[in-house]
Amino acid sequence: MVGEGPYLISDLDRRGHRRSFVERYDPSLKTMIPVRPYARLAPNPVDDAGLLSFATFSWLTPVMVRGYKHTLTVDTLPPLSPYDSSNTNAKRFRILWDEEVDRVGPEKASLHRVVWKFQRTRVLMDIVANILCIVMAAIGPTVLIHQILQQTQSTSRNVWVGVGLCVALFATEFTKVLFWALAWAINYRTAIRLKVGTSTLVFENLLSFKTLTHVSVGEVLNILSNDSYSLFEAALFGPLPATIPIVMAACAVYAFFILGPTALIGICVYVIFIPIQVFLAKLSSAFRRSAISVTDKRVQTMNEFVTCIKLIKMYAWEKSFTKTIRDIRKRERKLLEKAGFVQSGNSALAPIASTIAIVLTFTCHILLRRPLTAPVAFSVIAMFNVMKFSIAILPFSVKAMSEANVSLRRMKKILIAKSLPAYITRPEDPDTVLLLAHATLTWEQEASGTSDVDTVGARKARRQEAYGVSPAAQHGAGPAEPGGGGKSVLHDVSFVVRKGQILGVCGNVGSGKSSLVAALLGQMQLQRGVVAVNGTLACVSQQAWLFHGTVRENILFGAKYDHRR
């Protein structure tokens, strides 16, 4: 059963002592027990499932039966496994990322290394399961079928030997399927943990920013949707090709042993086709990477279109914007079509390579007048099918790893980005609610990375000067200058708002009204001056913000509904 500490965030226990291997991986080691009869009675069935139940997903049977009889709801579903929760995996990923940053610095920190540390144990276990699957897949067709065919041609046939070979063939095929299912089960759970861990960490970093001036809305949406799914696919398909060198070496030795030197012809065909598959997979990933940048632009344009829809309809700009969006979508579709064509052609290479290898091997073998019997022919064909089974997943793995490489670079850009420095202070006068003293603010950070820092005496002098301004000047704001390029948006703004006063700000479009509110909320860059706020602020945006749901859900925002209110 899962204890109070559902997941090991670090290698240390609560007392600071290093945990042993058994303590760290006790729940995972219990999963290796073939049958655990009480798993279905546990609150988290996947965590207490045995090897057979975990590999065959039979722990889902009670849920499927319950869904067949009754409608599944959140209350009737089993509780989420604490090992797969976003909070747990994000904390662990945060610890590994902080350790990497502390060790080499934010610029040299490798997110790829952090991802490897996050999942390396499960990846190694997946590779072991794949190796055992390949071994069982090779023993059955190449050894047992070879012996069965020789047994049928033998003059002194033994029934029990034939029965034993058939039972052994069934056992190897069953074990192959079991280890293959186990590898996929491990990969799926690893992929889920990696996806929720990275997505949550990136989302937490985005929430720490008061304004998203360094990243576009389209890029944020792509990172949280497409890039996180790219990591999911990388964790799902990435470890599978690790067995290809072992399979190639074992099959080459065995084919040379039973067929002779001509077997190397078929092996060479596979060796030639592997770099071709890798090249086509990288070409497909290059098209997809180009499509991602176009998708960012399309999402950003659509966001601007929806935001300014009133202005667009007032000036009758619908056709112009529609044409712009269609052109962007056309470029995006062409890139995705090219990627799809290349990926489809790459997927068809595995069966083609197997057929070419078999035909060339047997043709050369016969032309050299070497003997070829049915047991040898069937064994060689089965061996080539095992190799086809191994390299068929290679295009998907290379594609997933290439896309994940790009996704990690985009995520690192957000993880190493620094939040805006806090510049809002507290006014010295308790009756003062808001204070701006010769404040000059901008939306973009200066190239030097630091703004003009005022000394404590200069700020105090500005505060005293601001407290002493005339009532007419208290409500006056300085002229707003065009933003961009590090230029100030609000220039030399000074006013004081005391308790009990009501202040109204009016002006033309683009005069800086919204920027003034953003400055009070701490969402801009302070170049010089003082911005002080006493207490907390509440801002009602001029644009309504709704999420996908009912009106009641938008009002309650997760709280329980009280009909008496």
Q: Cβ-count burial of 126 within 10 angstroms (0-12 exposed, 13-18 middle, 19+ buried)?
A: buried
Q: Which pLDDT does position 547 carry in this prediction?
A: 67
pLDDT digit string, tens, across residues 79-92: 888 888 888 888 88
Q: Which pLDDT does position 21 carry in this prediction?
A: 63
HSE, side-chain direction, 13 A CA sphere, residue 355 = 5
Q: Phi/psi class of residue 55: alpha, beta or left (left: φ > 0; alpha: ψ in -120 to 50)? A: alpha
Q: Which pLDDT does position 7 carry in this prediction?
A: 42
For the whole model, what pTM was predicted?
Answer: 0.73
Give the CA distances from residue 307 to residues 301, 314, 544, 545, in Å, rounded to whole numbers and listed in that order.
10, 13, 11, 11
Rounded to an integer, the average pLDDT of 479-501 is 69
pLDDT digit string, tens, across residues 421-443: 778 888 888 888 888 888 888 87
Q: Which pLDDT does position 6 carry in this prediction?
A: 43
Instruction: For residue 27, give the nearest of 80, 79, 82 by alpha carbon.
Output: 82
> What are 268's two structure tokens?
């060479």
pLDDT band at 8 (very low <50, low <70, confident <90, very high): very low
pLDDT band at 194 (very low <50, low <70, confident <90, very high): very high
- Point out which residues pair with 114 in neighbouring strands: none
In order, the DSSP letters of 408-425 are HHHHHHHHSPPPPPP-EE
Q: Which residues contact 429 (CB under 8 A, 6 or more apart)?
A: 467, 498
Q: What is the 3-state secondary structure (H, E, C) of 514-565?
A: HHHHHHHCCCCEEEEEEEEECCCCCCCCCCCCCCCCCHHHHHHCCCCCCCCC
Contact 239, 123 (CB under 8 A): yes
Q: Look at the block and give the residue holding tokens 């798993």.
A: 39
In order, the DSSP letters of 230-262 are HHHHHHHHTTGGGGHHHHHHHHHHHHHHHT-TT
Where does 259-317 have alpha helices with state H?
263-307, 309-314
Q: Give the phi and the psi of residue 452 in degrees, each rounded to 5.
A: -65, 120
Higher pLDDT, 539 or 131: 131
pLDDT digit string, tens, across residues 373-401: 877 888 788 778 878 877 778 888 888 88
Top-confidence range, 127-141, 468-482, 535-549: 127-141
Rounded to an integer, the average pLDDT of 448-453 is 41
Least confident of 17-26, 199-208, 223-232, 349-358: 17-26
* Distance in angstroms (rounded) separating the CA atoms of residues 268 and 356: 11
Higher pLDDT, 232 or 296: 232
Least confident of 24-38, 314-328, 488-502: 24-38
Q: Look at the block and give the residue holding tokens 């700020």.
A: 459
Rounded to an integer, the average pLDDT of 165-186 is 88
Residue 484 pLDDT > 50: no
Residue 201 pLDDT > 70: yes
- Taken in order 122, 128, 131, 133, the sign of the CA dihedral is negative
Rounded to an integer, the average pLDDT of 202-230 is 78
Count Cβ neighbours within 10 Å for each residue of 73-106 and write b for 16 or more, e otherwise. eeeeeeeebbbbbbebbbbbbbebbeebbeeeee
Q: Which pLDDT does position 448 carry in this prediction?
A: 40
* Distance in angstroms (rounded) separating the CA atoms of residues 529 and 289: 44
pLDDT band at 14 (very low <50, low <70, confident <90, very high): low
Mean pLDDT for all residues in the chain: 79
Contact 129, 241 (CB under 8 A): no
- Taken in order 28, 29, 33, 36, the sign of the CA dihedral is negative
Higher pLDDT, 543 or 340: 340
Q: Which pLDDT does position 72 carry in this prediction?
A: 81
Count Cβ neighbours within 10 Å for each residue of 456-479 and write b for 16 or more, e otherwise. eeebeebbeebbeeeeeebeebbe
Q: Which pLDDT does position 480 carry in this prediction?
A: 45
Rounded to an integer, the average pLDDT of 446-458 is 44
pLDDT digit string, tens, across residues 121-173: 888 888 888 888 888 887 877 778 778 877 777 767 778 888 888 888 888 88
* Distance in angstroms (rounded) separating the CA atoms of residues 516 and 401: 46
Higher pLDDT, 28 or 109: 109
> What are 281's two structure tokens?
């997979």
> What are 282's two structure tokens?
């990288």
Contact 424, 524 (CB under 8 A): no
Least confident of 27-31, 235-239, 267-271, 527-531: 27-31
HSE, side-chain direction, 13 A CA sphere, residue 51 = 11
Entry field: residues in the chain = 565
* Distance in angstroms (rounded) separating the CA atoms of residues 9 and 98: 13
Looking at the chain, the whole-number percentage of residues with pLDDT higher than 70 is 84
Residue 467 pLDDT > 70: no
Least confident of 118-122, 469-473, 513-517: 469-473
Query: Which amino acid belongs to residue 228?
Result: S
